[in-house]
Each structure stands twice: as C-alpha cells, then as structure tokens.
Amino acid sequence: MSETILEVQKLKKYFPIKGGILNQTTAEVQAVDVIDFVVARGETLGIVGESGCGKSTTARLLMQLIKHDDGEIIFDGYAVGKSGGITTREMRKRMQMVFQDSYSSLNPRLPVESSIAFGPIVHGVNKSAAQKKARDLLIKVGLNPELFSRRYPHELSGGQRQRVNIARALALEPEVLILDEAVSALDKSVEAQVLNLLMDLKAEFKLTFIFISHDLNVVHYISDRVLVMYLGRVVEIGDVSAVYNYPKHPYTRALISAMPSMDPKKRTEAVPLVGDPPNPISPPSGCRFRTRCPFSEDICAIKEPILIHTDLKKRQSSACHMGDPDSGHSRTNLNGLPK
C-alpha cells in the first residue's frame, strides 16, 4: 500500500479540428496540455477552473474514455495500458466515475437496479448476486430498494438519480471515485445531502475522491487538496487551506476573490478578471494566463512557468514566475501575501 494511488505524468490531449475537402486536421484544441499531479490514497483532490479549462477532459482521460496523446497514468504503481502495468479494464474496475448529468447517465430502458448490477455482471458476478449487491448499494445511498429497485430513471428525482449513479459507480468496489461535476446540477439542499452522503461513503469504503467542480465553496468543503486548472494547464496545487487563504497564482487569487461570500464584510470589491480565456487552439506563448494577468511582464511571454508538484508533503505550488526568485519577474515578492 503506497501512499500515492494515482500519478499522472505529462498527460496531454489535443483534439483535432477537421476541415477542408480532404477532412484533414486543420488545427488542434489543446484541451489538456501536459499536466502532472499525484493523488494520495484516501484524500479528496478537488479540481477547479472555469468552463473549458480541461477539467472534464482530464476526468475522461483518467477513465480512458478518450485516449491521451502523450504521457502516462500510473495507478497504484502500475502504468495503465503499458506492458508490465495494468490493463485499462483492470484500472476501470478500481476507478469509477460519476457523471454530471444524472439523467443521461442512466439507461432509460433499464430499471435502476439493473443499471447498478450491470458493472458486476460484466465482471463475471452472477446475476442474482449482482442484483443483491445492487439492492445493498441502494440502501447504502439512502434509497429503499423495495421502493426503488424496479423503478426507471424518469420515475426518480434528480437527487435520487444521482444517488443511483453513485451506487452504480460503487458497484465495482472501486478505490478511486471521480466525481465530474456530480453535484453541480442539483439544487442546493439536495446538493448538501448528496455531499454528506459522499463523505459518509468515503469513510465507509475508504475511497479516494477526485472531485471536479466549478463551485469553489463546495470544493472547499469537501477537498483535502485542490488543483486549479487554466486553459489545459495546472496553475496551482496545494492544501485547501493554503490555496484558499494564501493563493499564490494571480488566477487562483482572482477565482478566490470572485467567490460569493455570506459575510457582508468580505464583499467582492473589484472585478477580479475581465474577458474570456484565450482560444485553446492558439494559446498565448509563455504563461497562458498572461493575457489576463494584472502583473504580466515581458518574461511571462518568453518563458513558461513550470509546475512540478509530486511531493505530497509540500503544501502548495504554483506555476507563476512571481513565485520563483530567479525567474526575472520584478514582483517576486508579491507571492504568499494574504489576499
């Protein structure tokens, strides 16, 4: 049992844009552009970032639902899909995913019990044992199997469906659960219930969570560590308390200051960020955030800030020249200041 359960090395995915008469590749969307991170066993890693920054692509790459162009996924010490490592199928048995849209992620023609039992049946569990397991899991996610096991997805509410999705993901007894915006579509009261359910299940089954969300409050609540993405890159990673209280990267700082607060003394005063993220087909040179960064200097266009954070004991790292005294940026002292 190593401390690290999942390690992502130089993961890259460019989506080709086809066009022209011969359907050739005319451009590429740099959805995930060389990211590195590690996930410790038993932790919850939150992944945040604005729309289109590559959060969901990362999740799909981890599940191998889309093939990565380059890089490696190392699950529990074994490279996935490499000789000497483990196969994608074995990895999928140990890592499962809950999708955002609770409705389209359940087959409308199958009773929920059959949807949950599908995974175990695929992996060779006999039908009655799989059904028993499905009923057991329905209880675990707080649904009475006598009432719910034979229902169809359209007969359930959004929160109930998402509970079924969680049960389905747990049916293979995974160690890692990827939650891709799993609670974002639910209304606030149901969201809180499902979050609490997730915390209970995490403790009960000793799960590791990768929690993807655009909701910073939710990520703050559930995560141990947080990873901030911008335009296909990791800009900051670290312990939740460190990143939220002392954001180092200007983008993280902007995100945190844009967080709506219930405290009237903590009002958002200035518009933290203006404009849209640049086009991922032709991202800016050097630092990708420099076009929207208030501290951008010449060095930012020339040199690319690099983030390598594989030591889990390190509390916080950011991909910004201001964090590196030798980078040549004039404001290296700005870092680490309380927001």
Partner 1 sequence: MSTLSTNSSKNLDAGQIITDSPSYWSSVRSNLKNDPVTIAFALILLSLLLSAIFADLLAPLDPYKTNMLKRLKPIGTEGFLLGADELGRDMLTRLIYGGRLSLLMGISPVVAALLIGGLLGLTAGFVGGKVNMSIMRVMDVFYAFPSVLLAIAISGALGAGIFNAIISLTIVFIPPIARVTESVTTQIRALDYVEAARASGAKSLTIIRVHIISNVAGPVFVYSTSLISVSIILSSGLSFLGLGTEPPQPEWGLMLNTLRQSIYVNPWVAALPGVMIFLTSLSFNMMSDGIRSAMDIKL
Q: How far is the CB of 170 from partner 1 (least distance, A)?
A: 11
**Residue 288 is a binding residue for partner 1 (CB under 8 A):** no
Does 135 interact with partner 1 (rule: CB under 8 A)?
A: yes
Q: How far is CA 130 from the centre of its chain?
A: 29
Chosen residue from 149, 252, 317, 335 binding partner 1 by CB under 8 A? 149
Query: Can you tell me which residue has the tokens 């799909």?
Result: 60
Instruction: Report the C-alpha gap between 221 and 46 in whole angstroms.
Output: 10
**What is the nearest approach in angstroms of partner 1 to the Cβ of residue 335?**
40
13, 55, 68, 168: which one contacts partner 1 (CB under 8 A)? 168
State how far the alpha carbon of 301 is from the alpha carbons of 83, 187, 290, 298, in Å.
40, 42, 7, 6
Q: CB of residue 305 vs partner 1: minimum separation in angstroms?
A: 34
- Alpha-carbon span 9 to 226, nearest angstrom: 17
Judged by CB under 8 A, does residue 263 bind partner 1?
Answer: no
- Sign of the torsion angle spanned by Cα atoms 178, 182, 188, 189: negative
Please give the size of the binding site for partner 1, defined by CB under 8 A. 46
| Distance between start and end Cα atoms, the chain | 39
Nearest to 176 by CA among 141, 209, 152: 209
Q: How many helices (H) and strands (E) does the chain have?
A: 11, 11
- Does residue 63 belong to the site contacting partner 1 (CB under 8 A)? yes
Residue type, 310: T
d(C-alpha 324, C-alpha 326), whole Å: 5
Applying CB under 8 A, the span of 43-51, 129-137, 247-255, 321-329 interacting with partner 1 comes to 129-137
Q: Look at the alpha carbons of 274, 56, 224, 185 in this order and tell me if their dihedral is positive or negative.
A: positive
Based on the shown chain and the rule CB under 8 A, indicate whether residue 283 belongs to the binding site for partner 1.
Answer: no
Q: Does 46 bind partner 1 (CB under 8 A)?
A: no
SS3 state at 201: helix
Residue 44 contacts partner 1 per CB under 8 A: no
- 31 vs 243, which CB is nearer to partner 1? 31
208 is a contact residue toward partner 1 (CB under 8 A): no
Q: Select 122 or 312, whichever has its Cβ closest to partner 1.
A: 122
- Applying CB under 8 A, among 28, 72, 136, 215 the residue interacting with partner 1 is 136
Can you say how many angstroms the Cα of residue 259 is from the centroid of all Cα atoms in its chain? 19
**One residue of 154, 188, 265, 313 binding partner 1 per CB under 8 A:** 154
* C-alpha to C-alpha distance for 156 and 151, rounded to whole angstroms: 8
Locate 285 and state its tokens: 């040179």
Q: Which residue of 139, 281, 306, 308 would you call a contact of partner 1, by CB under 8 A?
A: 139
Do the beta carbons of residue 122 and residue 113 sit within 8 Å? no
Q: Cα separation of 35 and 256, whole Å?
A: 22
Please report whether residue 118 would count as binding partner 1 according to CB under 8 A: yes
89 scored as a contact of partner 1 (CB under 8 A)? yes
Tell me which of 111, 232, 277, 323 binds partner 1, using CB under 8 A.
111
Binding status of residue 233 toward partner 1 by CB under 8 A? no
Q: By the criterion CB under 8 A, which residues form the site for partner 1?
A: 60, 63, 65, 88-89, 92-93, 96-97, 99-101, 104-111, 115, 118-119, 122-123, 132, 135-136, 139-140, 142, 144-146, 149-150, 152, 154, 165, 168, 171-172, 196-197, 200, 204
